């Protein structure tokens, strides 16, 4: 009886345990399902759209290309919905433009180029960037075009000019046709330097839209689809997008300033002047060190710009002539010739395709004139120093003023009589150039009398009355 009771009790307990475990398993399944459903719902909710804003408001040159490539990669890493390039540029270097177009076409995120605000332009190389973008937009009161290729501001022979035009138009066709924009109008901007206002560009099919400001632009583009260069169709989600400024780094800002030819020229000339001063006054160290740093910085900046090799040779010749002036007493002729070479070299040093990438005439003349005046002053100082008498050694004492301190009376007559030179029979101490010397005189003189040094005999000065 007890055995059956225990067996029955154990059976009831086992069933209870199974029931409890089943309840817990069911609750766990329900909780897990709820959590998974919430996680899936959270994933399905769209994240806050962000737009990376890139500012191109200077010339197109290597620093601009570095900045654009970096910011587009950062926009992709941040999963931005799009990259918005606010552009206002007169144009720039052909090779830098090609690099920037490649960055736009290879960008993982859609690229919107917006020429704004009113008064801005997408000139020359900037026109290529505008047409390469997934979305080309302009604000009212802006213009774009005048994209004829220029190399170093030089006049080209007809054959080379035709080759450049063909190459530029072929490059433009490679992405304008892909963007389904007006190829004929684009080629007209390259071959005939045609420039368009925002309304003309819109009518000719060179733009996606005209918008007065960034918020209106993003609202208009929200929900539209763009076809990327790889064939992917991407729908833009830009409504209420958060704008994130992609500002230039400190390095890019400094290099961007240095690519101004006028600043680079000032650094170069100032550095050469300090090095020249170091050669004239050896041992000062600081002018030479600072000047060398300025010259090296200027050379680095100029290396990023299109240079005239003839102008570089003129500048090197100017430096050589200025250094020779230190060693060869040409009375300033070599220095002035060097300054002339310097001015001509400065005027023709940087030959960019736009005026913003060339040395201004006022800068070259002002720097050349100032450099010439300073050089003339230094040369005159050097020549004057060469003509001056030597102020060291015993012979430099002859003719100096000696003031009697003591002696030169009857008490010192015996000393004078025993002197090697009996004609100087009186002895005493005199002050010459802040130093006390032993003096000999043929006549007695009172203390405080001003005498003239007539000769130097060893460590004794022969003095005589001043005439």
Residue 165 sits in the same domain as residue 102: yes
7 in a structural domain: no
When pLDDT is averaged across residues 100-115 and rounded to a whole number, the result is 96
Q: Does 239 share its domain with 157?
A: yes
Mean pLDDT of 99-107: 95
CATH number for the domain harbouring residue 144: 3.90.226.10
Same structural domain for residues 331 and 301? yes
- Which pLDDT score is estimated for 217? 95
Using pLDDT thresholds of 50, 70 and 90, give the confidence band for residue 467: confident
Banded pLDDT at 5 (limits 50, 70, 90): very low
Residue 43 in any domain: the answer is: no
Show which of 352, 370, 387 is a domain's final residue: 387
Which band of pLDDT confidence, cut at 50, 70 and 90, is reported for residue 148? Answer: confident
Pair 230, 270 in one domain: no
Q: Is residue 12 included in any domain, yes or no?
A: no
> Does residue 141 sit in the same domain as residue 227?
yes
Domain count, the chain: 3
182 confidence band (pLDDT: 50, 70, 90): very high
Q: Do 205 and 121 fall into the same domain?
A: yes
pTM value?
A: 0.69
Whether residues 294 and 367 share a domain: the answer is yes
Burial state string for 168-187 with b = 16 or more CB within 10 A and e = fewer than 16: bbebbeebbeebebbbebbb
Domain check: are 200 and 348 in the same one?
no
The answer to whether position 91 is within a domain reads yes
Q: Quick check: is 19 in a domain? A: no
**In the predicted model, what is the mean pLDDT of the chain?**
82
For residue 310, what are its two tokens? 């003839």
Burial of 448 (0-12, 13-18, 19+ CB in 10 A): exposed
Sheet holding 195-197, edge to edge: 121-123, 143-145, 195-197
Residue numbers of the domain that contains 181:
50-248
188 and 242 assigned to the same domain: yes
- Indicate whether 431 and 282 sit together in one domain: no
Q: Is 31 among the domain residues?
A: no
Task: Enumerate residues 6+ apart whose C-beta is below 8 A from 407.
Answer: 426, 427, 428, 429, 439
Domain boundary at 363, 387, 411, which? 387
Is residue 45, in this structure, part of any structural domain at all? Answer: no
Same domain, 189 and 326: no
Domain-embedded: residue 1: no
Q: Which of 387, 416, 439 is the C-terminal boundary of a domain?
A: 387
Per-residue pLDDT tens over the stretch 196-254: 999 999 999 999 999 999 999 999 999 999 999 888 999 999 988 999 999 999 999 99
237 and 95 in a common domain:
yes
């Amino acid at each position: 009886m007890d055995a059956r009771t225990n067996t029955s009790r154990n059976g009831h307990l086992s069933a209870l345990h199974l029931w409890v475990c089943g309840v817990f398993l069911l609750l766990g399944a329900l909780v897990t399902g709820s959590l998974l459903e919430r996680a899936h719902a959270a994933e399905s909710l769209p994240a806050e759209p962000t737009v990376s804003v890139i500012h191109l408001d200077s010339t197109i040159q290597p620093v601009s290309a570095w900045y654009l490539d970096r910011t587009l990669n950062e926009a992709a890493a941040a999963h931005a919905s799009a990259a918005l390039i606010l552009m206002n540029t007169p144009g720039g270097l052909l090779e830098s433009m090609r690099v920037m177009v490649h960055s736009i076409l290879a960008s993982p995120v859609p690229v919107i180029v917006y020429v704004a605000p009113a008064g801005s332009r997408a000139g020359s190389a900037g026109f290529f960037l505008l047409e390469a973008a997934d979305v080309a937009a302009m604000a009212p009161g802006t213009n774009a075009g005048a994209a004829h290729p220029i190399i170093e501001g030089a006049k080209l022979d007809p054959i080379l000019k035709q080759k450049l035009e063909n190459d530029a138009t072929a490059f433009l066709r490679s992405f304008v046709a892909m963007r389904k924009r007006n190829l004929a109008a684009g080629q007209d901007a390259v071959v005939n330097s045609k420039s368009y206002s925002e309304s003309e560009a819109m009518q000719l099919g060179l733009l996606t839209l005209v918008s007065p400001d960034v918020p209106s632009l993003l609202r208009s583009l929200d929900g539209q689809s763009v076809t990327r260069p790889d064939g992917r169709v991407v729908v833009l989600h830009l409504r209420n997008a958060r704008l994130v400024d992609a500002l230039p780094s400190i390095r890019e800002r400094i290099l961007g300033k240095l690519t101004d030819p006028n600043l680079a020229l000032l650094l170069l000339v100032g550095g050469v002047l300090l090095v020249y001063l170091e050669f004239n006054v050896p041992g000062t160290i600081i002018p030479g060190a600072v000047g060398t740093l300025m010259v090296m910085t200027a050379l680095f900046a100029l290396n990023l710009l299109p240079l005239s090799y003839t102008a570089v040779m003129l500048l090197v010749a100017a430096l050589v002539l200025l250094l020779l002036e230190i060693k060869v007493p040409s009375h300033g002729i070599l220095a002035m010739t060097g300054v002339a070479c310097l001015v001509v070299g400065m005027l023709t040093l940087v030959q960019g395709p736009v005026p913003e990438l060339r040395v201004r005439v006022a800068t070259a003349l002002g720097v050349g004139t100032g450099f010439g005046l300073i050089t003339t002053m230094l040369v005159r100082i050097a020549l004057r120093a060469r003509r001056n008498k030597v102020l060291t050694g015993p012979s430099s004492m002859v003719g100096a003023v000696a003031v009697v301190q003591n002696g030169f009376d009857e008490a010192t007559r015996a000393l004078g009589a025993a002197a090697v030179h009996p004609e100087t029979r009186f002895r005493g101490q005199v002050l010459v150039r802040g130093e006390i010397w032993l003096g000999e005189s043929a006549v007695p003189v009172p203390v405080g009398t001003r005498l003239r040094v007539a000769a130097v005999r060893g460590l004794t000065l022969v003095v005589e009355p001043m005439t």
